[in-house]
Amino acid sequence: MQSFTEENYLKVIYHLAEKTNNVQTNAIAEQIQTKPASVTDMIKKLAEKELVDYIKYQGVTLTDKGRHAAVDIVRKHRLWEVFLVDKLNFKWDEVHDVAEELEHIKSVNLIERLDEFLGFPKSDPHGDPIPDKNGRFTKTQFIKLIELKIGDSGTITGVSQHSSAFLKHLEKLGLTLGKQIKISDVTDFDGSVEILIEEKQINISREVAKHILISNNGKN
- Binding of residue 86 to Mn ion (CB under 5 A): no
Q: In 21-59, at which residue ranges do the beta strands (DSSP E only) sit?
A: 52-54
- Binding of residue 44 to DNA (CB under 7 A): yes
d(C-alpha 56, C-alpha 8), whole Å: 21
Shortest approach of its own copies to residue 77 CB, angstroms?
13
Q: Of the two residues 80 and 142, which places its CB atom closer to its own copies in the complex? A: 80
d(C-alpha 13, C-alpha 201), whole Å: 40
Answer left, alpha or beta for residue 41, where phi above 0 means left and psi between -120 and 50 means alpha: alpha
Q: Of the two residues 22 and 164, which places its CB atom closer to DNA in the complex? A: 22
Q: Choosing among DNA, its own copies, Mn ion, none, which partner's interface includes residue 134 (Cβ < 5 to 8 Å by kind)?
A: none
Shortest approach of DNA to residue 61 CB, angstroms?
13
- Binding of residue 30 to Mn ion (CB under 5 A): no
Shortest approach of its own copies to residue 112 CB, angstroms?
9
Q: Choosing among Mn ion, its own copies, DNA, none, which partner's interface includes residue 40 (Cβ < 5 to 8 Å by kind)?
A: DNA
Q: Choosing among its own copies, Mn ion, DNA, none, which partner's interface includes residue 138 (Cβ < 5 to 8 Å by kind)?
A: none
- Binding of residue 93 to Mn ion (CB under 5 A): no
- Residue of the chain from 17, 39, 51, 82 that contacts DNA (CB under 7 A): 39
Contact between residue 192 and residue 199 where contact means Cβ atoms under 8 Å apart:
no
Contact between residue 157 and residue 217 where contact means Cβ atoms under 8 Å apart:
no
201 — phi, psi (to 5°)?
-100, 125
Q: Of the two residues 83 and 142, which places its CB atom closer to its own copies in the complex? A: 83
Amino acid, single-letter form, for residue 104: H
How does strand 212-218 pair with strand 180-186? unpaired
3-state SS assignment for residue 184: strand
- Binding of residue 100 to Mn ion (CB under 5 A): yes
Of 142, 149, 166, 159, whose CA–CA distance to 216 is shortest? 142
Shortest approach of Mn ion to residue 15 CB, angstroms?
11
- Binding of residue 6 to DNA (CB under 7 A): yes
Shortest approach of DNA to residue 34 CB, angstroms?
4
d(C-alpha 27, C-alpha 69), whole Å: 20
d(C-alpha 36, C-alpha 86), whole Å: 38
Q: Which residues bind DNA (CB under 7 A)?
A: 3-6, 24-27, 32-45, 54, 56-59
